[in-house]
């Protein structure tokens, strides 16, 4: 859309009070457009719900911006953005219809100064997770953000989600097995062995020759949502954790800790293995059209971390 420099927008002439507002003054010369201008880290009490209506988050930090496209406008009506956030989001359940209405209102509030709006909601999902074996359970926190963009002809929603997990190095596991094998041969070479003797030795401290190094790891998932709605947060978390096989635990008993150790042994992973598993899991995910994954293994062997990234379109 083109503007004529002589056009005086109605908002420029409005006088809410007798106090001056220099942002509503027109420039005498053409100014470059601004891609986005607004506010960030606004605290909003906001209810993020699961599919069964359970509360997953009760507050958010919000970034809100609009473009400044009018060539003679010095600035936007920034306070209007803030007031609209309060109206549509404060103490409300997060719904697609409210977000769609809000995005339209953000643009309309600028009286022709802006053609696009962007909203970024940051919140921590607090999800109850069961132990692997026992009846124990606890709450795990998953940082998430929902990015909404609105233009004159497009509405787009993107989810970003961080899922922690455990990863055990396949190379380290192989070296540990080799060390154990060599110690076993040294201990029992030439001796007549009973199964009970072998079992007792393997359960003793003598068999703790070497252990594979494991590390806390993170999968950062970015999904372009198919229907621009509120995603199934827990469903996505379950999908990621099941694909990796080694979700972090909360409250555990000894049988859970043993099961966790077994899970790590059954799911030895380099970063390359992790992103390939997630590629396979997300490539047919029904709520997305496109995905990007970054994994980070925070090394316990090295002073640096290992990372890998992968992306792709969702096959339908």
Three-class HEC string of the chain: CCCCCCCCCHHHHCCCCCCCCHHHCECCCCCCCEEEEEEEEEEEEEEEECCCCCEEEEEEEEEEEEEECCCCECCCCHHHHHHHHHHHCCCEECCHHHHHHHHHHHHHCCCCCCCCEEEEEEEEEEEEEECCCCCCEEEEEEEEEEEEEECCCCEEEEEEEEEEEEEECHHHHHHHHHHHHHHHHHHHCCCCCCHHHHHHHHCCHHHCCCCCCEEEEEEEEEEEECCCCCCCHHHHHHHHHHHHCCECCCCCCHHHHHHHHHHHHHCCCCHHHHHHHHHHHHCCCCCEEEEEEEEEECCCCCCCCEEEEEEEECCC
Owner of token pair 């606890």: 138
Q: Are 160 and 154 a contacting pair, CB within 8 Å?
A: no
CATH class of 32-169+213-313: alpha beta
pTM higher than 0.95, yes or no?
no
Phi, psi (5° rounding) for residue 73?
Answer: -90, 130
Do β-strands 34-49 and 92-93 pair in parallel, antiparallel, or remain unpaired? parallel
Residue 109, pLDDT > 90, answer yes
Domain boundaries, the chain: 32-169+213-313, 179-207
Q: What is the pLDDT of residue 2?
A: 40
Q: What is the pLDDT of residue 231?
A: 94
Q: What is the pLDDT of residue 19?
A: 77
CB atoms near residue 61 (< 10 Å): 16
Q: What is the pLDDT of residue 62?
A: 98
Residue 15, pLDDT > 60, answer no
- CA pair distance 288, 311, nearest whole angstrom: 12
Mean confidence (pLDDT) of the chain: 91
Res. 7 pLDDT band, cuts 50 70 90: very low
Residue 246, pLDDT > 70, answer yes
- pLDDT tens-place string over residues 290-302: 999 999 999 888 8
Residue 54, pLDDT > 80, answer yes
Higher pLDDT, 52 or 36: 36
What's the mean pLDDT in 75-82? Answer: 95
Q: How far is CA 186 from the centre of its chain?
A: 49
Residue 200, pLDDT > 50, answer yes
Residue 205, pLDDT > 80, answer yes
- pLDDT tens-place string over residues 253-297: 999 999 999 999 999 999 999 999 999 999 999 999 999 999 999
Given CA atoms 189, 194, 199, 205 in this order, what sign does their dihedral have? negative
- CA pair distance 55, 234, nearest whole angstrom: 11
- pLDDT tens-place string over residues 132-183: 999 999 999 999 999 999 998 899 999 999 999 999 999 999 999 999 999 9
Q: What is the pLDDT of residue 28?
A: 55
Ramachandran class of 8: left when φ > 0, alpha when ψ lies in -120 to 50, beta otherwise: beta
Indicate the range of 25-34, 88-97, 190-199, 226-235 predicted with least confidence: 25-34
Residue 10, pLDDT > 60, answer no
177 Cβ contact partners less than 8 Å away, ≥ 6 residues apart: none
């Amino acid at each position: 859309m083109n503007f004529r420099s002589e056009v005086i927008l109605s908002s420029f002439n409005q006088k809410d009070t007798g106090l001056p507002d220099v942002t509503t003054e027109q420039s005498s010369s053409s100014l470059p457009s601004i891609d986005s201008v607004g506010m960030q880290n606004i605290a909003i009490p906001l209810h993020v719900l699961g599919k069964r209506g359970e509360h997953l988050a009760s507050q958010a930090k919000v970034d809100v911006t609009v473009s400044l496209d009018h060539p003679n406008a010095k600035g936007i009506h920034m306070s209007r953005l803030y007031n609209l956030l309060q109206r549509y989001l404060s103490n409300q359940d997060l719904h697609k219809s409210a977000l769609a209405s809000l995005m339209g209102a953000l643009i309309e509030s600028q009286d022709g100064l802006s053609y696009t709006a962007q909203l970024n909601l940051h919140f921590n999902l607090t999800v109850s997770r069961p132990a692997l074996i026992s009846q124990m359970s606890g709450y795990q926190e998953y940082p998430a953000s929902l990015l909404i963009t609105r233009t004159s002809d497009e509405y787009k929603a993107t989810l970003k989600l961080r899922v922690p997990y455990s990863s055990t190095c396949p190379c380290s596991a192989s070296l540990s097995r080799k060390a154990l094998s060599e110690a076993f041969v040294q201990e029992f070479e030439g001796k007549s062995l009973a199964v009970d003797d072998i079992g007792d030795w393997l359960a003793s401290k003598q068999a703790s020759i070497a252990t594979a190094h494991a590390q806390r790891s993170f999968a950062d998932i970015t999904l372009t949502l198919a229907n621009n709605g509120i995603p199934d947060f827990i469903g996505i978390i379950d999908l990621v954790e099941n694909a990796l096989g080694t979700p972090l635990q909360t409250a555990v008993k000894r049988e859970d800790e043993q099961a966790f150790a077994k899970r790590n042994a059954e799911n030895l992973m380099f970063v390359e293995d992790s992103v390939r598993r997630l590629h396979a899991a997300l490539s047919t995910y029904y709520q997305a059209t496109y995905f990007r994954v970054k994994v980070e293994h925070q090394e316990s062997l090295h002073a640096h971390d290992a990372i890998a990234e992968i992306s792709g379109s969702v096959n339908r």
